[in-house]
Amino acid sequence: MGWGGRWERGSGWGTHVHLCPRYIQPQNITQNLTSVSEFFLLGLSDDPELQPLLCILFLSMYLVTVLGNLLIIQAVTSDPHLHTPMYFFLSNLSLADIGFISTTVPKMIVNIQTHSRVISCEGCLTQMSIFILFGGMDCTLLTAMAYDRFVAICHPLHYTAIMNPHFSGFLVLVSFLVSLLESQVHNLIVLQLTCFKDVEISNFFCDPSLLLDLACSDTVTNNIVMYFVGTIFGFLPLSGIFFSYYKILSSIRRIPSTGGKYKAFSTCGSHLAVVCLFYGTGLGVYLISAISQSPRKDVTASVVYTVVTPMLNPFIYSLRNRDIKRAMWKLLSKIISS
């Protein structure tokens, strides 16, 4: 059952989590109340020859992501010209991206190195919670950044008064609390599960939807609640972004000169690219999961969403944003000269 796979008695979620009796092997039928204490992450490939390559590839992507986002945080912190709400939100987005990728990739690298795919029930629940927390923060912070651009372009005379440091900090706090609420709602749904028909998760991390699929009890209600919660927490931020850009485009169209239109919209270019990348890959993962019957295709789509997107964000902002590019060059020059 996977590399280093083994069965143990355990307490599951802290309640009784069991295997469904019909999935227990005949010789173990008397142990149908044996608690499941571990899950097995099937990962990206079963081919032993690919494991070193996957380890190097994902370690490289992880280091690039962490270093790139740390560089943005340091650039924003060290340059007084970037002490504005937009870059304050950007530095928090970079921090959320570091947490987002750190929830899944290090565990996968350790599993490859130790030839083990085991994750404890408690570890699985913790990973799922933190993953949803940082994923939710990405959504809500992108919405806050869209609102910031809306105020800057549509109400420039009131920008300083509206987007003051206290209100910016409040938006980040709300982003964290809303994401924490979403994470705990998913936790409560998964904690209701009392037995599983299998312990193999066809991904490299504990995906909440896959955990529901493994449940042997009727999960229709839980699925409805989970998708409803996902729709609310996903649809509302996306609606806020769409509304902000609708108003932004309406304001830009009223600018008489072509140069003025370009200058106004150029301040939104990086954010819009990140929004398209984040929601585009997220929607792609959802559609592939719904249409495809191949677990491997689902895993590949998940890699794009959970690993590639956080890695590309620093490149998008450093390449498209002059202020960030200037601050990063200044920071790198200072580091090299010292």
pLDDT tens digits, residue range 300-326? 777 888 888 899 888 888 777 777 878
- Looking at every residue in the chain, the average pLDDT score rounds to 80
Domains of the chain: 49-337 (1.20.1070.10)
So what's the pLDDT on residue 1?
43
DSSP of 12-81: TTSS--EE-GGGS-GGGGGGTTPBP-EEEE--S---GGGHHHHHHHHHHHHHHHHHHHHHHHHHHHH-GG
pLDDT of residue 292 exceeding 80, the answer is no
Report the phi/psi class of residue 142: left, alpha or beta, with left for phi > 0 and alpha for psi in -120 to 50: alpha
| Contact of 143 with 240, CB cutoff 8 Å | yes
Q: What is the pTM of this model?
A: 0.83
221-261 pLDDT tens trace = 666 776 777 777 778 888 999 999 999 988 888 888 777 77
Q: Which of 197, 190, 56 is nearest to 121 (CA)?
A: 190
**Residue 19: predicted pLDDT:** 56
Residue 29, pLDDT score: 34
Nearest to 197, CA basis, from 42, 46, 18: 18
- Residue 28 scores a pLDDT above 50: no
Share of the chain above pLDDT 90, in %: 30
Q: Which of 82-96, 128-142, 268-282 has the lowest mean pLDDT?
A: 268-282
User: What's the rounded mean pLDDT across residues 275-293?
Assistant: 71
How does residue 287 score in pLDDT terms, banded at 50, 70 and 90? Answer: low
pLDDT band at 23 (very low <50, low <70, confident <90, very high): very low
CA pair distance 162, 168, nearest whole angstrom? 9
Please write the tens of the pLDDT for every residue from 179-225. 999 898 888 888 877 677 777 888 888 887 777 777 776 656 666 77
**DSSP character for 308?**
I
Across 5-19, 40-54, 238-252, 296-310, least confident range: 5-19
